[in-house]
Structure 1
Amino acid sequence: MKKTQNKSEFAYMRIAKIIEQQILNGTLRTGDKLPSLRTICREYGVSQNTALSAYYYLECKMLIETRPQSGYYVRYSKTKIPALPQLTTPEAEANYADSELLVRKIYDSLGEDGHLPLALGTPANELLPIAKLNKGLMMATRELKGSGVMYDKTEGNERLRRQIARWSFAMECNLKHDEIITTSGCLNALSYCLMALTKKGDTVAMESPVSFGMLQLAQVLGVKVLELPSDPQHGVDLNALEDALRENKINVCLFISNFSNPLGSCMPDENKKQTVRLLEKYHVPLIENDLNGDVYFGQQRPKSCKTYDESGLVLWCGSVSKTLAPGYRVGWVAPGKFKDEVRRMKRYHNISSTSITQEVIAGFLETGRYENHLRKLRHTLHGNLLKFSRAISDYFPDGTMASRPQGGFVIWVELPKAVDTIALYEQCLRHKISFAPGRIFTLQNQYENCLRLNYGLLWNERLERDLEMLGSFAKRWNLFDSY
């Protein structure tokens, strides 16, 4: 029975992916009628339930629609997708404009009753396997020595580290468990790495715009941030990186290689390889934030820069904070040649990580429950992204541009220059809508007309209505400025 079910699941996905690709590449255009269910059954040799599942999958992504008494039609339109933003152009020197108060206000609004949480890139509770996590907690309490109340090794839970090493095969990175150190989330891993590799006054290169958590971390540690130009699809500009390396401006690089925050860009494999070779040439370490790599919308997980690391200069950081259990604070780092330094930082600041939550995550990885959860999550998020793109096109001002992430949780929106997204944020807060203004993703005076939205929410009428309201407020700002 199980084999038959798996075969059926594979068949409907295979059919759906073929039709999806034809829609996305323009072979099937908006308004085209799709083959009937009977035709699908005959051409692919499947049951009507399998054909229905394929079309339901495409309907959930808003790629097709059903018309009563008529059949199924293509709904998706490339013309309804906003244009892409251009390559970013930050200043060539470090800058220190502060947005601390704005960031604090965004965090303070979290959890307030009735607020739509578009500000942070985390999944809604409804998209997480909370019941299974709770069951895993009970099992971990029974199975761990001392019920998990004792200190673990500084390196972290061995079972978890073995599973992370096994998981790394998906990106063709042959890690061993003793090369990995667990942490309290990905930001904690980045913190240990920066503390191990830098001193006050050093310069860290990051792509721009960049995650405000990484910016705040750099400021706390007293290091300068050199913001590099970035492409909304392919990530950091390698020419700008090489120029900065040649001029000895950089002590460490800190990049989000897969589905960056906030642009959603993904470095092509060749760019990752070239980045590692450049850094090897100039002996500059790379702290790689690969937090979103598992949330891909393509056929397979993208590789990481760590895949191409032959000298140990890449410190690969990851976590399940965005994908499975944000509050568990389970992350890790494979620090390469800097393992002793990073382990020392963890010992100084934390001694060891939380045993029980690490054991739960290890169980999810070991039994395949994590991959099962990810398949559903990727499907939901990809559908949400298409819905957000359509809503931005329908409701936001003319001339609005938006990124086209191939994974992750966030989309970057560039509104017309007249729109001040900090003022727009204050207006939206009064209507219980929270988003992340573009100004917090830089230490320079830029991105004032940009914002980041989290599409990792449960899509419903309220969400679409609030996106429409957000767009209408932005239109009013644009219209007011034109007079």
Structure 2
Amino acid sequence: MAKYEILAHQLKTQIESGVWLENEKLPSLRKKSAESGYSLMTVLHAYQILESQGYISSQERSGYVVTAKNLVGNRPLVQTSESVSINDFVFDVLQASKNPHMLSLGFAYPDPSLYPRQHLNKSVAAAAKQISLTSALDNLPPGNAELRKLIAKRYAARGISISPDEIVITAGALEALSLSLQACTQPGDWVIVESPTFYGAMQALERLGLKAITIKVSPTTGLDVAALERALQTHSVKACWLMSNFQNPMGYSLSETKKQQVADLMEKYQVALIEDDVYAELYSTANNTNKSPLPIKHYMHNSSSMLCSSFSKSLVAGFRIGWVAAGARALSIQKQQLMSTFETSAPIQLSLVDYLSTKNYELHLKQLRKKLVARKKAMFAFLNEALDGVAKIYIHEGGYFLWIECHLSVDAMDIYHEALRLYITVAPGKLFSLNDEFNHCFRVNASFELNDAKRNQLRKLTEFIKQITPSKR
């Protein structure tokens, strides 16, 4: 750990423990340099880090002043982590979701019964008849040419101009996101992610030896753009991994204004944007919306954006077909893919070409969106009534997640373990963060249809949550 990081950590600990109180002035740079034995530049760098994290602020003629006493529930908007370790916990949670007897509300994919299995099976059979001796070669990176054209046409229908030549087909969206990271970073580089964020982002950072800067997001307003810029100002950031539409786990979408602001910042600070857009097709039709929301990439003028998506959430999970619209980095990503997975399944790519060309994908999406809206409303109504006065439940248009925020003293891991005992899985907040700031929260997959048996299961879990929640006085 560098000297300025040691000093910043010491001061942060002092602020959190009450040595320095809110609105209290810190020692001047010269005084702190004399006290600590560090150079003026080291002290200045440490103060700048604390300022970017929201602990102190620079005030004219007053120097640096403590802005907040960062207790639980009042965390800084920007936090850093020199190392990322999440894989073991993710593995344990996902293993529990594999039990077929579970009500898998912790699952990341929609209810499998919502997929058009019969039509997909017919497309698989049709593709099998088309496979030739050269099919493997034809589907090497960047992937099947016809499939890339079909994806580009779907983007064009959304008003997004993407050439088939910049699309690389991958083994799911997570591979697309991981390859995108490798294309613009080296081990030890700083990468910005949201907090909470999709656990796959933290897994990728851990595997690639990258350092994380987390920007705290709100379940109502989303990303704090000012905090994002502070992080870009104070660190040499190489990439920013964001989810602007129906964010996992909170479910919010950024406004068009915020998307434009983020795009402007990426270009201003010359930072690569890696955008996870896997839920874009699952917009709500409740308010007569008939078009997928635009990604941040749409608002960018240069080619430093990599837009990643897949068919796993909207069509079928098991096919594991994703892609990245990589712009100028398409060739670099193809080379990375050849050294890792080599290629994405040729039969599956051909199956998707057949399905998208001959089946009514739009009709399936229309039916899927309608069912997701109804099921999420039903789940929200049930949980909102059962946990009234005990927890705050956040619901947004689009996607299929609910974010549940319990009392600060409640540990969502206790809820997770009790849920397992009741043959239910939920996704505890710990799964989506590098620290403990969301330990009182959990995510629910609301794509499953409720019946009496499932309501009875959930009612037992909500009673448990009530029991461990302190009563109001």
Note whether the superposition's TM-score is higher than 0.5. Answer: yes
- In structure 1, the partner of 2:140 is 153
Distance in 1 between residues matched to 2:225 and 2:358, nearest whole Å: 40
AA of the residue aligned to 1:466: Q
AA of the residue aligned to 2:432: F
- In structure 2, the partner of 1:185 is 172
SS of the equivalent of 2:371 reads: helix
- In structure 2, the partner of 1:68 is none
* 1:395–1:89 distance in 2 versus 1, CA, 3 Å: farther
* Structure 2 residue 309 is matched with structure 1 residue 329: no
Contact in 2 for aligned 1:90/1:228 (Cα 8 Å): yes
AA of the residue aligned to 2:379: F
* Structure 2 residue 99 is matched with structure 1 residue 108: no
SS of the equivalent of 1:93 reads: strand
Distance in 1 between residues matched to 2:447 and 2:272, nearest whole Å: 32
> How big is the shift at 1:286?
0.1
Of residues 89-98 and 194-203 in structure 1, the stretch that sits farther from structure 2 once superposed is: 89-98
AA of the residue aligned to 1:218: L
- In structure 2, the partner of 1:431 is 422
Of residues 458-467 and 189-198 in structure 1, the stretch that sits farther from structure 2 once superposed is: 458-467
Distance in 1 between residues matched to 2:416 and 2:89, nearest whole Å: 10
* Structure 2 residue 115 is matched with structure 1 residue 124: no
TM-score (norm 2): 0.80
Distance in 1 between residues matched to 2:87 and 2:193, nearest whole Å: 18
Contact in 2 for aligned 1:96/1:443 (Cα 8 Å): no
Q: Deviations over 1:192-212 (max 9, x none)?
A: 011111111111111111011
* RMSD across aligned positions (CA): 2.1
Distance in 2 between residues matched to 1:378 and 1:315, nearest whole Å: 26
AA of the residue aligned to 2:397: Q
Contact in 1 for aligned 2:309/2:324 (Cα 8 Å): yes
- In structure 2, the partner of 1:343 is 334
Runs of 5+ consecutive residues of structure 1 not aligned to the other structure:
1-85
> How big is the shift at 1:184?
0.4
Please, which of 251, 255, 272 is the counterpart of residue 285 of structure 1?
272
SS of the equivalent of 1:344 reads: helix
TM-score (norm 1): 0.78
Distance in 1 between residues matched to 2:84 and 2:271, nearest whole Å: 26
* Residues 80-95 of structure 1 aligned to structure 2 (within 5 Å): 89-94=76-81
* 1:348–1:99 distance in 2 versus 1, CA, 3 Å: closer
Of residues 146-155 and 100-109 in structure 1, the stretch that sits farther from structure 2 once superposed is: 146-155
- In structure 2, the partner of 1:378 is 369
Contact in 2 for aligned 1:185/1:329 (Cα 8 Å): yes
> How big is the shift at 1:118?
0.7
* Residues 237-256 of structure 1 aligned to structure 2 (within 5 Å): 237-256=224-243
Distance in 2 between residues matched to 1:261 and 1:88, nearest whole Å: 20
Distance in 1 between residues matched to 2:318 and 2:92, nearest whole Å: 20
AA of the residue aligned to 1:247: T
* 1:367–1:271 distance in 2 versus 1, CA, 3 Å: farther
AA of the residue aligned to 1:270: T
Contact in 1 for aligned 2:390/2:466 (Cα 8 Å): no
Distance in 2 between residues matched to 1:426 and 1:345, nearest whole Å: 40
Contact in 1 for aligned 2:275/2:306 (Cα 8 Å): yes
Distance in 2 between residues matched to 1:453 and 1:254, nearest whole Å: 23
- In structure 1, the partner of 2:299 is 308
AA of the residue aligned to 1:285: A
Contact in 2 for aligned 1:127/1:458 (Cα 8 Å): no
> How big is the shift at 1:151?
6.2
AA of the residue aligned to 1:117: S
* 1:174–1:275 distance in 2 versus 1, CA, 3 Å: same
